[in-house]
Amino acid sequence: MRNRLGVGAAGTIVSTALAISFAAVVMAAQAPAAAPQGAPPQGGGRGQAPLQVPNPTYAVIPLEIAVNKPAAEVWKRVGKYCDIGEWLQVACTMLSGKDGEVGAVRSIGNEILVGKTELSYTYTQPVREGQIYTLYHGTLEARPVTPTTSKLVYTLVFDNSTLADDAAREADKMRRTQTFTRALENMKILAEGGTLPARGGGAPGAPGAGGAGRGRGN
């Protein structure tokens, strides 16, 4: 009887030890790997690298113009990624990727197409060495209004906190607003079947339309 009790007790001890060892192995396998030395801590937004711009101020410039054509026709005429060369009246070529595909890069500002829908696209500009990144993004959209009319909507967003003061920020917004208002006026002319005058002069090629665009203004 004593033998049987001894063997039973020993078996219980061995089983318990094996169970503890197995649990330790499982816990070790599930534990997250240690971050490499010098790497910023992960998780919860705490302990991350400091922001390049601690207190950004994001300016938003929303612009739009009515067009007497259906949205699909408008987009077909002015919505290709390098159509900007025509309506902003600057040279545009594709540097990489295909026109209209996410990830494509055009020569104007080396701008990257980062999002698109059937009747819109969004682009940004790359980070440049030695310059503060402003997170500049632009979105162009042809939005249906009725079956036969639409509007073009152009929205810009960027951080202008690096400019010297409020006066400089206001001047910058005004310059961009003027540039892209002219761009929208030019798109309206083209979408409604008109032609643009030579850059810098002449009357627009459609009645009641705005003047020609000047400069990039991005």
The answer to whether residue 117 scores a pLDDT higher than 80 is: yes
Q: Tokens in use for 85? A: 């060369």
Establish if 83 belongs to a structural domain.
Answer: yes
Establish if 202 belongs to a structural domain.
Answer: no
Residues 6+ apart with CB under 8 A from 154: 62, 63, 64, 138, 139, 140, 141, 180, 183, 184
Establish if 132 belongs to a structural domain.
Answer: yes
Establish if 207 belongs to a structural domain.
Answer: no
Establish if 50 belongs to a structural domain.
Answer: no
Q: How many independent structural domains does the chain possess?
A: 1
Say what the pLDDT of residue 5 is: 47
Establish if 41 belongs to a structural domain.
Answer: no
Which range scores top for mean pLDDT: 34-38, 52-56, 205-209? 52-56
Q: Tell me the C-alpha distance between 57 and 71, whole Å.
A: 33
The answer to whether residue 214 scores a pLDDT higher than 80 is: no
Q: Give the residue numbers spanning the domain of 125.
A: 58-191
Establish if 165 belongs to a structural domain.
Answer: yes
pLDDT tier at 25, thresholds 50, 70, 90: very low
Share of the chain above pLDDT 90, in %: 65
Which CATH number does the domain housing residue 180 bear? 3.30.530.20
Say what the pLDDT of residue 209 is: 36
The answer to whether residue 218 scores a pLDDT higher than 90 is: no
Interval 91-97 mean pLDDT: 97
Chain centre to alpha carbon of residue 63: 18
Establish if 95 belongs to a structural domain.
Answer: yes
Query: Which of 93, 72, 73 lies closest to 83 in space, CA to CA?
Result: 93
pLDDT tens digits, 43-57: 555 678 999 998 899
Say what the pLDDT of residue 157 is: 97
pLDDT tens digits, 167-180: 999 999 999 999 99
Interval 71-76 mean pLDDT: 98
pLDDT tier at 199, thresholds 50, 70, 90: confident
C-alpha dist (Å) from residue 73 to 34, 82, 149: 56, 17, 10
| Contact (Cβ atoms closer than 8 angstroms) between residue 173 and residue 61 | yes
The answer to whether residue 24 scores a pLDDT higher than 90 is: no
Q: Tell me the C-alpha distance between 215 and 171, whole Å.
A: 16
Total-model pTM: 0.70
